[in-house]
Amino acid sequence: MREIILDTETTGISPDDGDRIVEIGCLEVDHQVPTGRTFQCYLNPERPMSQGAANITGITDAFLRDKPKFAEKVDDFLAFIADSKLVMHNAPFDMGFLNHELALLGRPALDNDRVIDTLEIARTKFAGAKNDLNSLCRRFGVDNSGREKHGALLDSELLAEVYLELKGGRQPGLIFKQDQLDRNDLETTHTPVTARPRRPTPLSSRLTQAEESAHKDFIKNLSAPSKWMAAD
């Protein structure tokens, strides 16, 4: 199942006050595994950054002056997200801005039914705890040391890891996609990670069939009984 992890940066906190999007960052996930495909763009909001937004993002008016307007990037953005589910942290904020930008161009709004809000998931799992992105990164051991300033693509990358943890702790790079599992008929074992006991990490066998056969032949040729034989 294809999903898009999405984040925006804006000139301020409310499109009703005329604030606009200055950056969109998207990351593609397929069956809960990031594919490496991303979409990112900075946008000229045609209005000044608020001081608060500039402090948080490090984005300046001078930097945005020669960037494309949303109208110039909207088709690329919509083509990338296609009809996939959209995963956001505090989705009403990002959706409010995206649909405001689309409305300015007379484009149809994005449907809220396609949205997965990780903030809502986190509030359900960790009621009463801090559930902002930084707090969730700390809770799950996700390295956010590079997040000195907010950035839409960086935040999407961090959110992808947090989302995988919220969904059960599957780590990209350590698992096979479902279609690969079906094709190769491999079994996945669930091995606890001692350094992070809060969740299991699914690991696939790293031994090839040739290596397993060589190991079994080695055991059979031992001159004395081996404890390995009982565990085979």
Split into its structural domains, the chain has a count of 2
206 or 68, greater pLDDT: 68
Average pLDDT, stretch 71-76?
98
Domain check: are 132 and 26 in the same one?
A: yes
Average pLDDT, stretch 187-196?
38
Position 147 confidence tier, pLDDT thresholds 50, 70, 90: confident
Domain check: are 165 and 92 in the same one?
A: yes
Domain check: are 219 and 124 in the same one?
A: no
**Residue 213 confidence (pLDDT):** 65
**Residue 190 confidence (pLDDT):** 36
Average pLDDT, stretch 216-220?
56
**How many percent of the chain have pLDDT more than 70?**
73
Domain check: are 13 and 124 in the same one?
A: yes
Position 212 confidence tier, pLDDT thresholds 50, 70, 90: low
CA proximity to 162, closest of 183, 134, 189, 184: 134
Residue 49 has pLDDT above 90, yes or no: yes
**Residue 196 confidence (pLDDT):** 43
Is 56 a domain residue?
yes
Position 28 confidence tier, pLDDT thresholds 50, 70, 90: very high
Q: Mind telling me the catalytic residues? A: 150
Is 190 a domain residue?
yes
Domain check: are 167 and 190 in the same one?
A: no
The parent domain of residue 224 ranges over 186-232
Is 10 a domain residue?
yes
Domain check: are 45 and 71 in the same one?
A: yes
pLDDT in tens, 79-91: 999 999 999 999 9
**Residue 18 confidence (pLDDT):** 96
As a whole number, the mean pLDDT across the chain is 82
Residue 195 has pLDDT above 80, yes or no: no
**Residue 215 confidence (pLDDT):** 57
CA proximity to 89, closest of 36, 149, 154, 17: 154
CA 15 to chain CA centroid, Å, is 25
Residue 165 has pLDDT above 90, yes or no: yes
Domain check: are 41 and 107 in the same one?
A: yes
**Residue 229 confidence (pLDDT):** 41
227 or 117, greater pLDDT: 117
Is 86 a domain residue?
yes
203 or 69, greater pLDDT: 69
Residue 102 has pLDDT above 70, yes or no: yes
Q: What are 107's two structure tokens?
A: 């484009």
CATH number at residue 30: 3.30.420.10
Domain check: are 44 and 159 in the same one?
A: yes
Domain check: are 163 and 192 in the same one?
A: no
Position 194 confidence tier, pLDDT thresholds 50, 70, 90: very low
Last residue of a domain, one of 147, 173, 199: 173
Is 49 a domain residue?
yes
Count CB-CB contacts under 10 A for residue 155. Answer: 24
Last residue of a domain, one of 149, 173, 197: 173
**Residue 141 confidence (pLDDT):** 95
